[in-house]
Amino acid sequence: MRLTMVANPPNDTYLTLLRQLGVKEAVHYDMAGLPTDREALDEIAARYARFGLRWTVAESGPSIDRIVMGKFGWQEQTESYKRTLGALGALGVEVVAYNFMPQVSTDAMVVRTTMDTPIRGGALTSGFRLSDVTESTLPHSEQPIERERMWANLERFLSDVIPAAEAAGVRLALHPDDPPLPELCGLQRIIGSIADFDRVLGFSSSPANAMTMCFGCFAEAGHDLSALIRRWSGRIGFVHVRDIHGSWDDFVETFPDDGDSDLLAAFETLAETGYTGLVRSDHTPLLACDRTENDGYTMSGHIFALGYMRGLSEAAERRRAYVLVKK
């Protein structure tokens, strides 16, 4: 497995820092949507290259708001997506991580009810409590549609774009809904359960039809991470590492060494199943040295998370090598 983290924003200081931390590959993180013209994509790749980084993951890919809800213009958006996959493949991008929630916020409908809950040492973190959700939690003007219509839109999207992804050598890695609720703020969400992912992966057996294994989302739902890694072995295109205290209706995000999940076991299972893709730190708490508001992506927390992930990864790989030798 290959470790990385998001530089948000991708300024000179943060990109230099990534290389100093031993990161070799870049995740271009832009929830507003990836540019679709080739010149802009070339510049993104060239910028990372100037700092010794290879661009291998685009998150969250080109805009799909009309595709998700089946609005006028979904055909044009699909054709643009297919063309962009070709350009990304030519640039060496291996994975496009996307979600299929209604695209009604700057974070594509990831919903939290607090961003300043104090945890260890007074660090500030985000949390979600279903009982605190009100009409003002996520204001929007989106018209809801039925679940099966959203499913039909997703199946149509994958049917259209998987051949283009295969031709480009790019994997499409679907991220779970966060939090994994079937309805939130008046809108349906269809990618929150094990059965949902089984259904999506059953649409096509192509390696291009993959998933993002987000530890935090599956921890929110109370699942055993190792069991899910084994269940979907070979279909995981990307991994997000974070942890929580609580459950789907009332949780806070934690430091990666202080949550409810057995992350060492999860890393051991990634090694055991032969996962060789990218693993990135996900949301982290705001530390005392960061003079800004918490958005989950301040650099200090991610530096800590990356170091912790490196320890987990090395321990898991050594255990795997030991088991192979013993056999």
Cis peptide, bond prior to residue 118, ω within 30 of zero: no
User: pLDDT higher for 122 or 327?
Assistant: 122
Please tell me the distance from the alpha carbon of residue 53 to that of residue 41, in angstroms, as a whole number: 15
Q: Which residues pair with 278 in a beta bridge?
A: 2
Mean pLDDT value across the chain: 97
**Of 283, 273, 124, 303, the residue nearest 216 (C-alpha):** 283
User: Which residue type does 98 have?
Assistant: Y
The Cα 170–Cα 83 span in angstroms is 12
Alpha carbons 34 and 283: distance in angstroms, whole number: 20
Q: What is the pLDDT of residue 321?
A: 82
Mean pLDDT of 43-58: 98
pLDDT at res. 318? 93
In eight-state DSSP terms, residue 287 is P
Report the pLDDT value the prediction gives residue 327, as an integer from 0 to 100.
67
**What amino acid is encoded at 115 in this protein?**
M
Residue 263: φ, ψ to 5°: -70, -30
Q: Are 212 and 173 in contact (CB under 8 A)?
A: yes
Write out pLDDT tens, residues 182-232: 999 999 999 999 999 999 999 999 999 999 999 999 999 999 999 999 999
CA–CA distances in Å: residue 314 to residues 80, 114, 227, 241, 310: 40, 34, 21, 15, 6
Number of domains, the chain: 1
Q: What is the CA radius of gyration of the chain?
A: 19
Q: Which helix (DSSP H) or strand (DSSP E) does residue 227 occupy?
A: helix 225-231
What CATH number is associated with residue 295? Answer: 3.20.20.150
The mean per-residue pLDDT over the stretch 148-169 comes to 98
What are the φ and ψ backbone dihedral angles of 278, each rounded to 5 degrees? -80, 145
**What average pLDDT does range 119-136 have in this prediction?**
97
- pLDDT score for 325: 73
Q: How many helices (H) and strands (E) does the chain have?
A: 10, 14
pLDDT at 186: 96
What is the distance in angstroms between the CA of the first residue and the CA of the last residue of the chain?
22
Largest CA distance in the chain: 60
% of the chain surpassing 70 pLDDT: 100
- Residue with token string 């961003």: 115
The pLDDT of residue 32 is 85
Residue scoring higher pLDDT (327 or 250): 250
Amino acid identity at 178: D
For the beta carbon of residue 65, count every other beta carbon within 10 angstroms. 16
* Residue 112 token pair: 């939290």
Give the residue-averaged pLDDT of 65-76. 98
pLDDT at 307: 98
- Domain hosting 35: range is 2-140+147-326
* Residue 144: predicted pLDDT: 97
What average pLDDT score do residues 77-94 get? Answer: 98
**68 phi and psi angles, rounded to 5 deg:** -60, -45
Beta bridge partners of 243: 254
Indicate if the pLDDT at residue 134 is higher than 80: yes
pLDDT 10s digits, 22-40: 999 999 999 888 999 999 9
Category of 63 on φ-ψ map: left (φ > 0), alpha (ψ -120 to 50) or beta: beta
CA nearest neighbour of 107 among 199, 8, 11, 183: 8
